[in-house]
């Protein structure tokens, strides 16, 4: 049975694969139904931002654009 925590497996794997390919500067953004108790784990595993249900999409997009701009500077 799926427990909804695949992000705890996939995010570290994705972060490692990106770094291995020389693409560690790519931002990982997670969204959807993620338990708040998993946020610290995901942030420490390489997630740049987490957006849950009810997120204001224009605000989230602006935040992501700011993160991209900051990384490019």
pLDDT in tens, the chain (73 residues): 455 678 999 999 999 999 999 999 999 999 999 999 999 999 999 999 999 999 999 999 999 999 999 988 8
- The three-class DSSP label of residue 72 is helix
Q: Which tokens go with 38? A: 């998993």
Residue 50 CA to residue 29 CA, distance in Å, equals: 6
- What residue spans define the domains of the chain? 7-72
User: Class assignment of domain 7-72?
Assistant: alpha beta
Q: What is the pTM of this model?
A: 0.85
Residues 6+ apart with CB under 8 A from 52: 31, 32, 33, 34, 36
């Amino acid at each position: 049975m799926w427990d909804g925590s695949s992000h705890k497996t996939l995010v570290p794997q994705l972060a490692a694969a990106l770094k291995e390919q020389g693409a560690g500067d790519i931002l990982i953004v997670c969204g959807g139904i993620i338990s708040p108790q998993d946020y610290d784990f995901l942030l420490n595993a390489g997630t740049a931002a987490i957006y849950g249900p009810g997120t204001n999409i224009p605000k989230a997009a602006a935040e992501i654009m700011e993160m991209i701009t900051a990384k490019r500077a």
